[in-house]
Amino acid sequence: MKTIGYAAQSAGDTLAPWEFERRDLRPNDVAMEVLYCGICFTDIHQVQDDWGWGIFPMVPGHEIVGRVTDVGSDVTQFKKGDTVAVGCMVDSCQECDQCHHGEEQFCREGMTLTYAGRDRINGETTQGGYSKHLVCREEFVLRIPEGLDLSRAAPLLCAGITTYSPLRHWNIGPGSQVGVIGLGGLGHMAVKLAVGLGADVTVLSRTEDKEADALDLGADGLLVSSDDAAMESAQSSFDLIIDTIPVKHDLTPYLRLLDINGGLVLVGQIGPIEELDSEPVVMGRRCIVGSAIGGIAETQELIDFCAKKNILPECEIIKIDQVNDALERLKRSDVRYRFVIDMASLAAP
Ligand SMILES: [Zn+2]
Ligand SMILES: [Zn+2]
């Protein structure tokens, strides 16, 4: 099937219209028209080839909401007209221990990324959601329940699940004390989801100026991390801190805020961790862990939870021809809090 997307032809290029082919449907494939696609900071890293494994031409986008246009002969869970979603991965081996217990993102053979990945069957480069159409195997297609605002649902597929998964892993609920560092696309979802799960939520920020935003999102308060006295009096007060800062920073001051058995969860790739004081880790069994998206079943649980609780990202909806400007603005954190592309603004080829 011929389709069109916005692609970078080589590393660092601006995105421009590009016609390409989507594969013919395999028996277990679902074809969809993309309705909305969120813009994630990963898209910037990949287009710039910051991680060195980009494949070009590259159509980014892994927060995808669409409508089913066709299904393969063996598909049982979806039919034409269904509202669906695809996140950061489109395939995995389906046979290893991780796939069997629903953590396909940790597949022993590696998940297949939605873009800048290699199809497991024919080796073709995968292309993402800044495009008119998408084809994905049934097992990696999510269902969007009726009533969820489609224009704001897309960021649940990456920003949402990335913050929901650690909250669930730590059994966060009423009575839990949760801290959130950073108030961007991921951070604002961490606040909303932790509040939705019933936790007491505090935003941690270097300055006071985020306080009104934090309270608007449902947080109970703001802790200013540059205020030594406030940091001292907040020691041992959090069960879980979700750290969304995407660049290298000192973790030790945050470790001291954790209660015994508490966890500091890194959801950004910050590279080498240096100068870490082991004292708060050893004396109190505190831990530093990382987390990456979530499995398919957990992603569906998140979408259903958000529909039930009416929890949605704060989005700025743009047209596809504004995408390069949006990527520049995202680099400056100039968005509250997630860009979503209305793909109706991209005409079919
Ligand atoms: Zn993402
Ligand atoms: Zn696997």
Read off the pLDDT of each residue in 3-23 and give the average, rounded to a whole number.
Answer: 97
User: How is residue 333 written in tokens?
Assistant: 């954190």
Nearest bound ligand to the CA of residue 185 = 1
Query: 107 CA to middle of ligand 2, Å?
Result: 4
How far is the centre of ligand 2, averaged over its atoms, from the C-alpha of 193 (Å)?
28
Q: Are 114 and 126 in contact (CB under 8 A)?
A: yes
DSSP string, 243-285: E---S----HHHHTTEEEEEEEEE-S------S--SHHHHTTT
Give the count of beta carbons closer than 10 Å to the beta carbon of residue 229: 8
| pLDDT reported for residue 312 | 96
- Position 57 scores a pLDDT of 98
Residue of 273 and 88 predicted with greater confidence: 88
- Closest of 268, 267, 261 to residue 291, by C-alpha: 267
CB-CB contact of 155 with 129 (8 Å): no
pLDDT computed for residue 247 by the predictor: 83
243 CA → ligand 2 middle, Å: 28
Position 274 confidence tier, pLDDT thresholds 50, 70, 90: confident
Distance CA 188, CA 70 (A): 35
DSSP annotation of 312 reads -
Residue 276, pLDDT score: 86
**111-155 residue pLDDT tens:** 999 999 999 999 999 999 999 999 999 999 999 999 899 999 999
Band the pLDDT of 270: cuts 50, 70, 90. confident
pLDDT (tens digit per residue) in 53-107: 999 999 999 999 999 999 999 999 999 999 999 999 999 999 999 999 999 999 9
Residues near 237 by beta carbon (within 8 Å), at least 6 away in sequence: 177, 257, 259
Cα 341 off chain centre by: 15
Q: What is the dihedral of CA 275, 279, 285, 291, to 10 degrees?
A: -10
pTM: predicted TM-score of the whole model, two decimal places: 0.95
Distance of CA 105 from the midpoint of ligand 1 (Å): 13
Q: How far is Cα 209 from Cα 213, in angstroms, rounded to an integer? A: 8
342 DSSP β-pair partners: 36, 319
pLDDT for 277 equals 87
Q: For residue range 187-203, what is the model confidence (pLDDT) as tens digits?
A: 999 999 999 999 999 99
**Closest ligand, as measured to the CA of 163:** 1
Residue with tokens 């509202």: 83
Q: How far is CA 168 from CA 139, 214, 300, 340, 346, in A?
A: 22, 22, 13, 26, 37
What's the 44 CA to ligand 1 centre distance in angstroms? 10
